Amino acid sequence: MGIEKNIIVTGAYGFIGSCLVSYLNQQGFTNLILVDDFAFDEKKEKNLKNKKYLHRIKRENLFIWLQTNQPKIDFLFHLGARTDTTEFDYTIHQKLNVDYSKSIWNYCTQNNIPLVYASSAATYGSGEFGYDDNHEVIEKLLPLNPYGISKNEFDKWVIKQTTSPQPSPNGEGAKAPPFWAGLKFFNVYGPNEYHKARMASVIFHSFNQIQQNGKVNLFKSHKQGLTDGNQLRDFVYVKDVVSVCFWLLTIHHSPFTNGLYNLGTGTARAFNDLTKVTFAGLDLQPNIEYIDMPLDIRDKYQYFTEANMHKLISAGYNKPFYSLEEGVEDYVRNYLSKNLYY
């Protein structure tokens, strides 16, 4: 099944994209066209070591390359984005997360290519309107930072495309790909995030702090009534994320409701829990110290996220998700401790 399919993966040099490339390879898919900026980064280079693919295309050259070569593309995963939540220059997010994503969408629409793209739980802001992936709430959402705003702006644009007058039966006037899903990733963690520095997961930072000084610094709570370390997030293991992506690839000819879908586990867990599980993965007793949160993110911080997963499960995804304990155990013992990539 996999050999003939030509699949584009944007963001392939990065964390989730490179894990998806690995997973696709494991399933027999090697006709992959990888897209990213590919500015040399030793750690990112290791993300793609021993991976099988056809081409690496620089992000800014993609549409010229497609126009020139006219390849038959069977599926497109658009995972590339500016993901730095502490980058407050909105024009950077607008260019990559909105404008470039519109170009990807339009290409898939014009060429009848199924599309899965990365949205984000950052769109939910402080959760004033809950964490439900229904389309009616998109216009109301109040993201806390430029990254979340850009992701929500693209989601809003997508919904407008899909709710405007429908095309004729022969497909003329189509404003959407034949199959599409926007995945609202919650707090993804796992191998191949070694390059992400400040933006890497708390598990990654905890592991390194334990290795360096035997303790972990967690942010104090600056919210009244919430004790330190009990900020709650929905942490989802990257192996589950790529499994869902692959499932969407396998079902795109089946009946499916195109739309936005949450991708978390459905269970919020405290940073304290996560840190204790990281210590346990190293067979150590927890040693946690609480520090002030940096001022530049204090007002932009999500204290709680929890994905409502009903929609994805109702659509037919029935594989169990890694629990926090299972995911962190696998990540710490089989990747971080051995400095291995997925």
Q: Is 51 exposed, middle or buried (0-12, 13-18, 19+ CB in 10 A)?
A: middle
What is the full DSSP assignment across 137-200? Answer: GGGG---SSHHHHHHHHHHHHHHHHHHSSPPPTT-TT--S-SSEEEEEE-EEE-TT-TT-GGGS
Burial 118-154 (b: 16+ CB within 10 A, else e): bbbbbbbbeeeeebebeeebbeebebbbbbbbbbbbb
Which residues partner with 149 through β-bridges? Answer: none
13, 100, 131, 147: which is the annotated catalytic residue? 147
Phi, psi at 213, each rounded to 5°: -140, 15
Check if 317 is active-site: no
Check if 196 is active-site: yes
Q: Is 252 exposed, middle or buried (0-12, 13-18, 19+ CB in 10 A)?
A: buried
Radius of gyration, alpha carbons of the chain: 20
Pick from 81, 218, 65, 64: nearest CA to 152? 81
Give the strand pairing for 187-189 and 216-219: unpaired
Q: Are 320 and 327 a contacting pair, CB within 8 Å? A: no
Give the C-alpha separation, 107 to 191, whole Å: 31
- Say how many C-beta atoms besides its own lie within 10 A of residue 188's C-beta: 23
Query: Helix, strand, or coil here: 233?
Result: strand
5, 196, 215, 311: which is the annotated catalytic residue? 196
**For the chain, how many residues are written?**
342
Q: Are 266 and 316 a contacting pair, CB within 8 Å? A: no
Catalytic residues: 147, 196
